[in-house]
Amino acid sequence: MFRDFFKDLYRKDHKPGYGGLDIIKYIGPGLLVTVGFIDPGNWASNIAAGSWYGYQLLWLVTMSTIMLIILQHNVAHLGIATGLCLSEATTRYTPKWVSKTILGSAMLASVSTSLAEILGAAIALNMLFNIPIPAGAMLTFIFVSIMLITNTYRKMEKFIIAFVSIIGLSFLYELALVHIDWGQTAIGLIKPTIPQGSMIIVMSVLGAVVMPHNLFLHSEIIQSRQWNLADEKIIRKQLDFELFDTLFSMIIGWAINIAIIILAATTFFQNNLHVDELQQAEKILTPLLGNHAGAIFAVALLFAGVASTVTSGMAGGSIFAGIYGEPYDIRDIHSKFGIMISLILAVLIILFIRNPFQGLIISQMALSIQLPFTIFLQLYLTSSEKVMGKYANKLPTKLMLYTVGAVVAFLNIKLLISLLS
C-alpha distances in Å from residue 170, one per residue of 20, 49, 166, 176, 272 = 28, 20, 6, 10, 24
Q: Residue 290: how many CB atoms within 10 A of its CB?
A: 12
Which DSSP helix (H) or strand (E) runs through 252?
helix 232-267
Q: What is the C-alpha to C-alpha distance for residues 268 and 94, in angstroms, rounded to an integer?
A: 48
The 10s digit of each residue's pLDDT in 251-270 is: 888 888 898 899 888 888 88
| Helices and strands (H, E) in the chain, number of each type | 18, 0
Q: How confident is the model at residue 7 (pLDDT cuts 50, 70, 90)?
A: very low
SS3 275: coil
Does the residue 2 lie in any domain?
no
Query: 131: exposed, middle or buried (C-beta count within 10 Å: 0-12, 13-18, 19+)?
Result: middle
Does the residue 380 lie in any domain?
yes
| End-to-end Cα distance, the chain | 49
Does the residue 1 lie in any domain?
no
Check residue 305 and give its pLDDT: 86
User: DSSP per residue over 228-245, as a string?
Assistant: -TT-HHHHHHHHHHHHHH
Residue type, 78: L
Per-residue exposure over 72-89, b if at least 16 CB sit within 10 Å of its own CB, e if not? bbbbbbbbbbbebbbbbb
Check residue 231 and give its pLDDT: 60
Does the residue 194 lie in any domain?
yes
% pLDDT > 70, the chain: 77
CATH number of the domain within which 277 lies: 1.20.1740.10
Q: How confident is the model at residue 27 (pLDDT cuts 50, 70, 90)?
A: low
Length of the chain: 421
Domain, as residue range, for 335: 7-420
Does the residue 110 lie in any domain?
yes
Number of domains in the chain: 1
Does the residue 147 lie in any domain?
yes
Does the residue 100 lie in any domain?
yes
User: DSSP per residue over 346-360, as a string?
Assistant: HHHHHTT-S-HHHHH
Q: How confident is the model at residue 229 (pLDDT cuts 50, 70, 90)?
A: low
Q: What is the C-alpha to C-alpha distance for residues 160 and 39, in angstroms, rounded to an integer?
A: 12
Does the residue 393 lie in any domain?
yes
Residue 126 has pLDDT above 70, yes or no: yes
Identify the residue with better confidence: 271 or 97.
Answer: 97
Q: Which residues contact 209 (CB under 8 A, 6 or more apart)?
A: 37, 42, 61, 64, 65, 67, 68, 253, 257
